[in-house]
Amino acid sequence: MILAFDDDEVTALADVAQANTWCEGIDVEAGLYTFIDEHGFLLSPRFIFPNRRGKTLELFAWVESGFFTLDRTHEKRRDLLADVIAGHVTVCAGPGPLSTQEMLREYLLNTTSSGLAGIGSNRKSEQIIT
């Protein structure tokens, strides 16, 4: 599970492929999204295929989104999980199965072992494989 935060909204995404479909690469590159997993670990975007930019006839600018993966870091964002559980952020009805505040809150409470109490350990950095 990947949680994509954009301003005061969060979208639950099933995997990296869904994150690439839902979040435009140009916006990810600009840092408009913050990604965490269901345990609160910050996920750092790394582009496998970079965004491309160009001009047609030197007049019309175009952008083609690249493909990114998300690497788990050592940093935890308990504050973001707490905001979702407390209802401080709006849950967007995205492509994932958890598209309501209640569904996402219930999932996070069950996943994080008694809510926020179970998200205190650190893990080594690892890549999320799809």
Predicted TM-score (pTM) of the model is 0.81
What mean pLDDT, rounded, does the chain reach?
87
Q: Per-residue pLDDT for 126 more than 80?
A: no
* Pairing state between β 90-91 and 67-76: unpaired
- Provide the pLDDT for residue 97: 81
Predicted local confidence at residue 113, as pLDDT: 57
For the segment 54-108, what is each residue's pLDDT rounded down to a tens digit? 998 888 998 899 999 999 999 999 999 999 999 999 999 888 889 899 999 999 9
Segments in the chain forming alpha helices (H)? 16-22, 25-29, 78-86, 101-111
Q: Where are the domains of the chain?
A: 2-122
Task: Please tell me the distance from the alpha carbon of residue 83 to that of residue 113, in angstroms, as a whole number.
Answer: 17
